[in-house]
Amino acid sequence: MLQSEGFLRVKDAAIVLGVSPNTVRAWGAEGKIPEYRHPVNNYRLYKRAELERILKKLEQSRSPETPGARKKRAK
């Protein structure tokens, strides 16, 4: 299980998601992100494809309001 196989360590996963490494660890412990363990050193590993899927969900939840909604608020 290496980065070349599509797995990332905590620090790299945090960079991809734009959060701190502690947030990645917490999300893994809460089951929000599937965690895997390296068989030799027991490092936490995360699949890049799963992180990208989660990132898309985060971006959708953070997306700005639609233009119509802004006009309604401005009135």
Residue 51 one-letter amino acid = L
| Domain regions of the chain by residue span | 3-74
Q: What is the pLDDT of residues 24-46, one digit of tens each?
A: 999 999 999 999 999 999 999 99
CATH class of 3-74: mainly alpha
What is the band of 69 on the pLDDT scale with cuts at 50, 70, 90?
low
pTM exceeds 0.75: no
Token pair, residue 26, equals 């917490």
Contact predicate 16/8, CB 8 Å: yes
Reported residue count of the chain is 75
Token pair, residue 44, equals 């936490």
